[in-house]
Amino acid sequence: MSLEEAKNQVDEAFTRKNNRGCSFENTFGGATSFLRRRYTKDLTGVDIAVTGVPFDQAVTNRTGTRLGPRAVREASALQAFDAPYGWDYNVLEEFNIVDYGDVAFDYAKVSDFPDALTNHIRGILNAGAASLTIGGDHYISFPILKAYAEKYGPLSLLQFDAHSDTWADDDMDRIDHGTMFYKAVKMGLIDPTRSVQVGIRTTNEDNLGVPTIDAREVHETGPAAVVKKIKSILGDHQTYVTFDIDCLDPAFAPGTGTPVWGGLSSGQASMILRDLAGVNMVGGDMVEVSPPFDTTGATAIAGAHVATELLSIWGATRRKG
């Protein structure tokens, strides 16, 4: 990229000619799609579509994650210049990645939301692409998993979180961001024996048999041991990866609805995510960024980095050659 070309790049979310490559427009200007990818509803030839879900009506504490997708897109402009650090390839160069925009739904008809989201993701999968979703509260993983299970059958779930989100709730129509993985297990969307939760530091007496690497184990054994254990559980099984930003300690991600002390540092999370290359990730999400509770923007920045790492994990097993 020459200096002259860089000086003339602007609003690449709309003006870029293709779906590959880094972006060099001013960080502080332009339309802020995720990583300056092209905004489009055309999924022809697309490998993975980044999409936002501005929904926070399932929370148990503080609202605000409906503003997460917008904030994470803006924060991602800081990363659009370079290949993701620490990887032996550049996912932005090797894959056709687009910003598919946000799911459309009627905020005043909450009961219709789950089906709207499942249909939204189903459309991406039916087009032959994968999805990376930016939330929104963590309930959104449940409607997304329904679409993925339709295509792949029961999945492994790799969940980074302060909470297990497996509290018992047999009302499958109830919308709650603390019970959706209980429902996902009961409905056969995920295989609990081939799943793993990382960073947990809240009490739930019945975790439905899902193996857990709690936050203390991460601190005591370190990222390398954690990754080795994760991979031994997941094997080569098709895996959906979900990252709740409250997996990070509030010192690193204060802008979230249900913060819990004692969590992972951003350094620990980055090492774990980068070493997960080889995991058979078929899709994923990054959720629970709540900008109103973080005036510094640090939480959205962390969320943008997590989402970029998820793209790289997804692409690492799909590179040609």
Q: What is the CATH number of the domain that holds 78?
A: 3.40.800.10
Q: What's the rounded Cα separation, in Å, for the pair 242 and 281?
A: 10
- Residue span of the structural domain in which 154 resides: 3-316
- 3-class SS letters over 67-84: HHHHHHHHHHHHHCCCCC
Is 244 annotated among the ligand-binding residues? Answer: yes
Tokens representing 204 are 């739930």
Is 214 annotated among the ligand-binding residues? Answer: no
Q: What stretch of H or E contains 15? A: helix 12-15
Tokens representing 278 are 């080889």
Report, in angstroms and rounded to the nearest whole number, the Rg of the chain calculated over CA atoms: 18
**Proportion of the chain above pLDDT 90, given as a percent:** 93
275 assigned to some structural domain: yes
Q: What's the rounded Cα separation, in Å, for the pair 14 and 37?
A: 9
321 assigned to some structural domain: no
Neighbours of 94 (CB within 10 A): 15
Question: Over its length of 321 residues, how does the chain's per-residue pLDDT go in tens digits?
Answer: 555 666 778 899 999 989 999 998 888 999 999 999 999 999 999 999 999 999 999 999 999 999 999 999 999 999 999 999 999 999 999 999 999 999 999 999 999 999 999 999 999 999 999 999 999 999 999 999 999 999 999 999 999 999 999 999 999 999 999 999 999 999 999 999 999 999 999 999 888 999 999 999 999 999 999 999 999 999 999 999 999 999 999 999 999 999 999 999 999 999 999 999 999 999 999 999 999 999 999 999 999 999 999 999 999 999 975
Residue type, 225: A
Q: Which of these, 36, 188, 42, lies nearest to 128 by C-alpha position?
A: 42
Q: What's the rounded Cα separation, in Å, for the pair 93 and 88?
A: 12
Length of the chain: 321
66 assigned to some structural domain: yes
Instruction: Give the pLDDT score at 7.
Output: 73
58 assigned to some structural domain: yes
Q: Which of these, 143, 145, 187, 181, lies nearest to 160 by C-alpha position?
A: 181
Angstrom distances, CA of residue 89 to CA of 21, 46, 240, 241: 12, 19, 22, 20
Instruction: Give the pLDDT score at 8.
Output: 76
23 assigned to some structural domain: yes
Is 237 annotated among the ligand-binding residues? Answer: no
- Residues 276, 308 contacting (CB under 8 angstroms): no
Is 138 annotated among the ligand-binding residues? Answer: yes
Instruction: Give the pLDDT score at 6.
Output: 66
Q: Note the pLDDT tens digit of each residue in 210-221.
A: 999 999 999 999
294 assigned to some structural domain: yes
Is 275 annotated among the ligand-binding residues? Answer: no
Domain count, the chain: 1
Round the average pLDDT of the chain to a whole number and report it: 96
Is 120 annotated among the ligand-binding residues? Answer: no
Q: Which of these, 10, 1, 110, 117, lies nearest to 53 by C-alpha position?
A: 117
E strands along 103-140, which residues?
130-135
Strand pairing class (212-214; 196-200): parallel
Q: What's the rounded Cα separation, in Å, for the pair 169 and 179?
A: 6
Q: Note the pLDDT tens digit of each residue in 203-244.
A: 998 889 999 999 999 999 999 999 999 999 999 999 999 999
Q: What dihedral do alpha carbons 247, 110, 145, 137 form, nearest 10°?
A: -10
Instruction: State whether residue 221 is helix, strand or coil.
Output: helix
